[in-house]
């Protein structure tokens, strides 16, 4: 499968290029950076610490999409929406790891996926997606006398909060309880908040250092507490899952899929 990476010069982009090159059945088809980037014209494989590929990083996203069977996108929300429309126009599968998408942007991506397979996930780690499934299961078995709190920590450079993964855990917990996360979530607390409201799903966000990603779902009741945690020590787990998802889209019907679909764990 010919796989390209948009935003290929960033930390995640370089890791994706490396993963594609080292995965059997895959070949790097190209990479993009925005017009004016100093990386345009450079070899994406060399930037990723590999031998020269003969490819050059392009500012022409459409040409890269046309040359690929699948494209992996870990960029920014506005760019991802444009890439989804480009994927639909060129018949190219799209793997989306971008976080911070709002409802309107998600709806635009879903509309584009009507014509081509897309996999969108807040986190492409196999372990995290099993955490989603476990959180949903536990939430479905415990009553609202178990308060749900989600704690996440990432490196100091992360620009969105709570993380997309934390929100994914929240959605899993809400689904287990049969409620809408937007109705139950408490994204922050400050000042005199009063007692905790039963049935809510709270979030706490920590930022600092070079933490790749720590997430914990806490179910706290009188007398006991159950915690489900995942800690990522390398972004390699995300690139492996994204490339696995790209391979999974081969001959797949159009539609917007999740990493749960790729792993066959429901959700």
User: Which pLDDT score, from 0 to 100, does residue 235 have?
Assistant: 84
Give me the sign of the Cα torsion angle 180, 183, 189, 193.
negative
HEC letters along 52-100: CCCCCCECCHHHHHHCCCEEEECCCHHHHHHHHHHHHHHCCEEEECCCC
Q: Assess contact for 60 and 86: CB atoms under 8 A.
A: no
Same-domain status, 114 and 240: yes
Q: What tens digit of pLDDT does each residue of 96-139 get?
A: 999 889 999 999 999 999 999 999 998 899 999 999 999 999 99
CA distances from 255 to 71, 102, 117, 261 (A): 15, 19, 5, 11
**pLDDT, average across residues 138-143:** 98
CA distances from 103 to 109, 110, 119, 131 (A): 10, 10, 17, 24
* pTM of structure: 0.82
Same-domain status, 227 and 146: yes
Q: What tens digit of pLDDT does each residue of 235-258 get?
A: 889 999 999 999 999 999 999 999
Same-domain status, 199 and 76: no
Same-domain status, 48 and 31: yes
**pLDDT, average across residues 181-188:** 97
Same-domain status, 220 and 252: no
In this predicted model, which residue has the larger pLDDT, 260 or 138? 138
Same-domain status, 227 and 240: no
CATH number assigned to the domain comprising residue 216: 3.30.360.10
**Would you please indicate which residues are annotated as catalytic (active-site) residues?**
154, 158
User: Which pLDDT score, from 0 to 100, does residue 153 have?
Assistant: 98
User: Which pLDDT score, from 0 to 100, does residue 81 have?
Assistant: 98
Average pLDDT, the chain: 96
- Distance in angstroms (rounded) separating the CA atoms of residues 172 and 194: 26
User: Which pLDDT score, from 0 to 100, does residue 41 have?
Assistant: 97
User: Which pLDDT score, from 0 to 100, does residue 100 have?
Assistant: 86
User: Which pLDDT score, from 0 to 100, does residue 122 have?
Assistant: 85
Share of the chain above pLDDT 70, in %: 99
**pLDDT, average across residues 158-179:** 95
User: Which pLDDT score, from 0 to 100, does residue 102 have?
Assistant: 93
**pLDDT, average across residues 199-204:** 98
Domain that holds residue 132: 126-232
**pLDDT, average across residues 182-190:** 96
Same-domain status, 198 and 94: no
Same-domain status, 257 and 187: no
Number of domains in the chain: 2
Same-domain status, 181 and 196: yes
Q: What tens digit of pLDDT does each residue of 20-34 get?
A: 999 999 999 999 999
Q: Assess contact for 148 and 205: CB atoms under 8 A.
A: no
**Angle between helical axes of 164-177 and 126-141 (0-180°, round to 10):** 30
* Residue 45: Cβ-neighbour burial (10 angstroms; 0-12, 13-18, 19+): buried
Same-domain status, 147 and 195: yes
Q: What tens digit of pLDDT does each residue of 65-100 get?
A: 999 999 999 999 999 999 999 999 999 999 999 988
CATH number assigned to the domain comprising residue 20: 3.40.50.720
Four-point Cα dihedral 181, 182, 186, 188, nearest 10: 120
Same-domain status, 85 and 173: no
- Distance in angstroms (rounded) separating the CA atoms of residues 110 and 265: 21
Same-domain status, 107 and 139: no
Pairing of strands 93-96, 185-186: unpaired
User: Which pLDDT score, from 0 to 100, does residue 266 have?
Assistant: 62
Q: What tens digit of pLDDT does each residue of 206-236 get?
A: 999 999 999 999 999 999 999 999 999 988 8
User: Which pLDDT score, from 0 to 100, does residue 78 have?
Assistant: 96
């Amino acid at each position: 499968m010919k796989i390209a990476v948009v935003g290929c010069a960033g930390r995640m982009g370089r890791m994706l290029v490396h993963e594609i090159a080292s995965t059997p059945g895959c070949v790097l088809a190209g990479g993009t950076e925005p017009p004016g980037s100093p990386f345009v014209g450079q070899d994406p494989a060399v930037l990723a610490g590999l031998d020269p590929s003969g490819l050059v990083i392009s500012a022409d996203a459409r040409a890269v999409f046309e040359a690929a069977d699948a494209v992996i996108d870990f960029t920014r929300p506005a760019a991802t929406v444009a890439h989804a429309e480009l994927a639909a126009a060129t018949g190219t599968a799209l793997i989306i790891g971008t976080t911070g998408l709002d409802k309107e942007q998600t709806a635009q991506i879903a509309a584009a996926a009507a014509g081509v397979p897309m996999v969108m996930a807040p986190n492409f780690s196999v372990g995290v997606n099993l955490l989603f499934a476990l959180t949903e299961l536990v939430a479905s078995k415990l009553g609202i006398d178990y308060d749900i709190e989600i704690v996440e920590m990432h490196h100091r450079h992360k620009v969105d909060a709570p993380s997309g993964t934390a929100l994914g855990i929240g959605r899993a917990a809400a689904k287990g309880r049969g409620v809408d996360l937007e109705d139950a979530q408490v994204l922050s607390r400050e000042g005199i908040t009063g007692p905790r409201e039963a049935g809510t799903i709270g979030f706490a966000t920590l930022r600092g250092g070079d933490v790749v990603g720590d997430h914990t779902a806490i179910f706290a009741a009188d007398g006991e507490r159950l915690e489900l945690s995942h800690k990522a020590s390398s972004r390699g787990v995300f690139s492996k899952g994204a490339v696995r998802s790209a391979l999974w889209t081969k001959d797949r019907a159009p539609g917007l899929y999740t990493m749960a679909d790729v792993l066959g764990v429901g959700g």
